[in-house]
Chains A and B, each alone.
Chain A
Amino acid sequence: MRFVLSAFVALLVSALTGIAPAAAQTDLRALINALGAGGFPEIEAGLRAITQAGDSAAVPAVTALGEGDLYVRTSDSQVVIAIERARGQFALTDAVTGESLGEAAEAEIERIRLNNRVRRAIRDTLGALTLMSDNPATRLAAAQAVLRTGDSEQIPLLDTAIAQETDARVLAVMNAARAVAIVRSDRPDEEKIEAINLIAERGGRDAVSILGPIANIEGPVGDAASAALAGIENTQRLWAAGQNVWYGLSLGSVLLLAAIGLAITFGVMGVINMAHGEMVMIGAYTTFVVQEIIRTQAPWLFDWSLAIAIPLAFLVAGTIGVAIERGIIRFLYGRPLETLLATWGLSLILQQAVRTYFGPTNKQVGNPSWMSGSFELGGLTIAYGRMWIIVFALAVFAGLMILMRATSFGLRMRAVTQNRKMASAMGIRTPWIDAMTFGLGSGIAGMAGVALSQIDNVSPNLGQSYIIDSFMVVVFGGVGNLWGTLVGAFTLGIANKFLEPYAGAVLGKILVLVLIILFIQRRPRGLFALKGRAVEA
């Protein structure tokens, strides 16, 4: 492994530096040969000299030194890289050019010995050398390494590197590294304060750990550091609050997805559907089945699995919803408590059916590549999965709004809700509308299931964990009002996430429940109550 690694580094660097001028090569050879010439202090001095020369062609040799693969050939005191091929037989390569130099027995070469001081020097040298690499990624990594160590001896090197740096991102890191190095050096105070300001501008957790010890120093540097530290902590607190808002939005979007179907069946139709959570669960299982089929039949479609699952889940859950409405609920209109019980029974049956068919264990639902990973936005870490779920929730909400407001089906639906008899007299087939509305609500729950399958365990109990929360959202937002559901979901999500740090996850949830119970006392009809006579009917 070690061999492969060092060979790779050698290859990489030699490829990069293959066209280096011959003159530089001879200089470098002298420097590297000096490594084999004496004891530990001499090696350290040699490394320093290599660092100052700043030629990245020295990287393979220094890497090999660090790994104990650098030897001195006793015949001509040339420093070579030697890898043990067989017992006592070494393959030699040139430390500068990487050319093969044939084989040698153990007696012909002598290993250059290391101690911890030398190892540290090797690490610093490597960090500094790679600062000059032609590959921006290598330079970035090297700059970050210097940023971590903050070695003041590398300031001149950094200066050279900064002077020839073209990549803005790398330049920023290098500047930060230089600032850190300056703060830790014995340079004049003004320069240090300037550097502190630079670090503070950069911010982040690293800045806190760099400035923390300095803030305790007496004098202007310490004051500047404490001021900078206070500033950074303030920004961090703001970012943490922002992150909490983000988490809250994310939770809110999940709640919205789970509750929005309920807002249709409960809010618009007035039907208590305790099996709503099971519709979500069925949607999640539809995703599972779709992914299973894709895995065995067409693995290249995997990134599209959710796009396929969403309409399917809508259809499956919607069909089951229509069947429930036609089979049970239509006999129970006007008897909400009975509806509650019957649909609860139904939820038991559906859960057990899924448990019997798919088994009681959690099912593995994979994330497509575009759902995994995260990115940084300022101080926020935003996971793609969560972001897409928020987008999806809002899209579903918008789609539903359009359906309700701008289509003839939505018009009929609202007509039936407002005045069933009159709607019927106008020629609307009210039973059909009932069934379709219920199917719509259930179908949306199914789509929510697709989204939830990405962030939650897909098990027969999936729906149960959302049902009480969903009801809370709908009741809190105001029954019969989709905007209320939107506001309610995000309010509860954010409230939950802001309570969590103080009260813990479970206690936070309890607090939210208690707050909702108290809120319902104040406003029994929710945040956005419908007004007028229809309310009491």
Chain B
Amino acid sequence: MSGTIVGRVLGLCILVLILIGAAALVLYGTLPDASGVVIDAADMQMIGVWAVVLVVALAVQSSAKTLAGQIVAGLFIALVVFAGAMILAGRVIPPGQPFHLDFERIEAAVFWVSAAVLALAAIAGLAALGGLLWGARIGWTGYLVVAILLLVAVAVPVLNLWTAPTHPLHVPNYAVSLFGKYLTYALLALSVGLIWGYCGILSLGHGAFFALGGYAIGMYLMRQIGARGVYANPDLPDFMVFLNWRELPFFWHFFDGFPYATLMVMAVPGVLAFVFGWFAFRSRVTGVYLSIITQALTYALLLAFFRNDFGFGGNNGLTDFKDILGFNIQAPTTRATLFAASAIALAIGYLMCRAMVSSKFGKVLVALRDAESRTRFLGYRVERYKLAVFVISAAMAGVAGALYVPQVGIINPGEFAPENSIEAVIWVAVGGRGTLVGPIIGATIVNYAKTVFTTGALAPYWPFVLGGLFVVVTLFLPKGIVGTVQMIWNRMRERRAAAPPREERNADGHGTAVPPQANPQLAE
């Protein structure tokens, strides 16, 4: 394939260039040039990050088979080239030279390009979703879930804002934030449920993607504080002033713009998942091994984000937010809007997953969950399916994190703790694996229980309850609530129809050990 060759050659050239640059940097400290071009260490970091993204882009491009894939990859590469041009014009070419752009111009350009990409992605996504949904079987449960979520999205804000506090149906402010938080957890659970329930990938590091999304939006919110911080520094967030930093690190640039931040909310977890999954799935790291290295991944990120010099606020994380899109983040209307946004995001996420799992793509996922080798022998590129669903799931977790942070008002490295990721897994297990409603229900129930327990005198007993949940669910409720209800429902129907009972048997005892649906047609 020509695309592959071009990609490889380009990648190699860039690698060589970077190596030469790095060597020069090590030898001379800076890269002097007759024209006054000077590349310092910060530039090198930036170019390094850029090169990684470029390599990822080329990898995507070289592995894209379909026309749509090629188009997406092409757009991706165009973006990377744009970023490269911006670095060149802004940092490498000195002021006064032709083609130099000052920072404000670049910022504006990035803002509008991100906005355009977002709009394009939204249109393409909606179109794709529409196309998928057209042929997909949503089922009555699917419509019910979406209807309930939309109803909640409208009803809770209305009841919160437009009823008197004494009204029996009034929803107090704290409940809006609380339930908004549950909705974002549900979206995280959905992303875990998608890969675990339908693809057999047990990620113990999904909290990392959630937290990365949260950090991306947190950076935007930090930049919105402007000069209203404790140190009243218009250029730097408080913690950087505190640490005596002189200027904004390059990875904090452009986060003033909402479109860019939103893009990063999905792109950062997505790219990380892509890079990680690319390596992991290609070398066929499966099952428990994958779980453990995902846990190591989030653990490594936890350690990294705890460091002050990593540039994300260290131990304290990002907090003390003021505005989002110009609206006061504490105001009830903003909170209600965020709640509605979370509910709608969850509904869209649900529809997306629904469409995916009921398409042919979803069938392949289930096939490789139950019999990975067999699927591979049938000619499917198993690792590509896994990678695709892993990246989508990571981006979804990132969105969940981005909706979570403005509602709780803080993001700190604690969100990377492996325990959080495992808790997300138990939500899915409680709700029901191999279903899409299950994670939503599970996340809501478990978190409601957590709230009830941890706010009262029972707080010391919550770990017992949570730990007990893990044990009880795996031992006695392997299908979770939804799966069990389904099983009972099916049994009753079958008894009524006097049909011979079907024997349940795992098609292939191959590791992932997901109990198959008793009746695949009736799954949800």
Contacts and interface: CB of A to CB of B under 8 A. Distances in A.
A491 to B, nearest CB: 16
B291 interface: yes
A345 B511 contact: no
Contacts of A338: 474, 478, 513
Given A338-B513, A348-B470, A517-B297, A522 B283 contact: yes
Contacts of B460: 352, 355-356
Contacts of B280: 521
Contacts of A347: 467
B176 interface: no
B300 interface: yes
Interface stretch (A187-195, A418-426, A507-515): A507-515
B303 A509 contact: yes
B303 A342 contact: no
A349 interface: yes
B306 interface: yes
B285 A520 contact: yes
Interface in B488-513: 509, 511-513
B469 A345 contact: yes
Contacts of B418: 468
Given A328-B475, A337-B287, A521-B280, A345 B307 contact: no
Interface in B278-334: 279-280, 282-285, 287-289, 291-293, 295-297, 299-300, 303-304, 306-307
A175 B279 CA distance: 63
B469 A337 contact: no
B464 A349 contact: yes
Interface string A499-536: 00000001101100110111011101000000000000
B139 interface: no
Contacts of A509: 300, 303
A468 B467 contact: no
A346 B471 contact: yes
B429 interface: yes
B463 A349 contact: yes
Q: Which of B202, B306, B467 has the most CB of A within 10 A?
A: B467
A345 B471 contact: yes
Contacts of B436: none
Contact of A524 (B289, B463, B473, B478): B289
B481 to A, nearest CB: 16
A492 B460 CA distance: 37
A524 B289 CA distance: 8
B287 A475 contact: no
A374 to B, nearest CB: 29
B471 A328 contact: yes
A332 interface: yes
Nearest to A522: B283
A71 B467 CA distance: 79
Contact of B293 (A331, A349, A353, A517): A517
Contacts of A353: 464
A340 B464 contact: no
B391 interface: no
Interface residues of A, number: 41
A286 B211 CA distance: 38
Contacts of A240: none
B475 A331 contact: yes
B299 A337 contact: no
Given A345-B471, A468-B418, A336 B466 contact: no
Contacts of A517: 276, 279, 293, 296-297, 300
B311 to A, nearest CB: 13
Interface in A389-407: none
Contact of A349 (B291, B467, B473): B467
Contacts of A468: 292, 295-296, 299, 418
Nearest to A331: B475
Contact of A510 (B303, B470, B471): B303
Contacts of B470: 341-342, 344-346, 348
Interface in A336-378: 336-342, 344-349, 351-353, 355-356
A194 B490 CA distance: 97
B468 interface: yes
Nearest to B304: A510
Contacts of B306: 506
A471 interface: yes
Contacts of A335: 513
Contacts of A524: 283-285, 289
A272 B463 contact: no
A472 interface: yes
A521 B276 CA distance: 10
Contact of B291 (A331, A340, A356, A514): A340
B426 interface: yes
A471 B292 contact: yes
Contacts of A520: 283, 285, 289, 293
Nearest to B295: A468
Contacts of A518: 279
B44 interface: no
A471 B299 CA distance: 13
A272 B426 CA distance: 16
Interface string B391-409: 0000000000000000000
B422 interface: yes
Contacts of A334: 509, 513
Contacts of B190: none
A355 B460 CA distance: 9
Contacts of B299: 468, 513
A354 to B, nearest CB: 11
B288 A514 contact: no
Q: Which of B202, B291, B306, B474 has the most CB of A within 10 A?
A: B474
A520 B294 CA distance: 12
Contacts of A510: 300, 303-304
B425 interface: yes
Nearest to A523: B283
Contacts of B475: 328, 331-332, 342
A252 B285 CA distance: 26
Nearest to A270: B288
B288 A336 contact: yes
A335 B200 CA distance: 12
A336 B303 contact: no
Contacts of A328: 471, 475
B289 to A, nearest CB: 6
Interface in B338-368: none
A352 B453 CA distance: 14
B300 A513 contact: yes
A500 B128 CA distance: 49
A481 to B, nearest CB: 15
A296 B478 CA distance: 49
A340 B303 contact: no
B289 A346 contact: no
A158 B418 CA distance: 65
A342 B474 contact: yes
A331 B509 CA distance: 15
Nearest to A275: B467
Interface string B401-432: 00000000000000000100010011001000
Contacts of B276: 517
A475 B471 CA distance: 25
A331 B471 CA distance: 11
Contact of A336 (B287, B463, B464): B287
Contacts of A339: 474
22 contacts: A272-B288, A328-B471, A334-B513, A336-B511, A337-B288, A340-B288, A341-B470, A341-B474, A342-B471, A342-B475, A345-B468, A346-B471, A347-B467, A348-B464, A348-B466, A355-B463, A471-B296, A506-B306, A517-B296, A520-B289, A520-B293, A524-B289
Given A348-B463, A349-B463, 8 more contacts: A334-B513, A337-B287, A338-B474, A338-B478, A346-B471, A347-B467, A348-B467, A517-B300
For the complex of A and B, list the 9 residue pairs with the smallest distance between their C-beta atoms, beginning with the closest: A345-B470, A348-B467, A349-B467, A352-B463, A335-B513, A345-B467, A342-B474, A513-B300, A338-B474
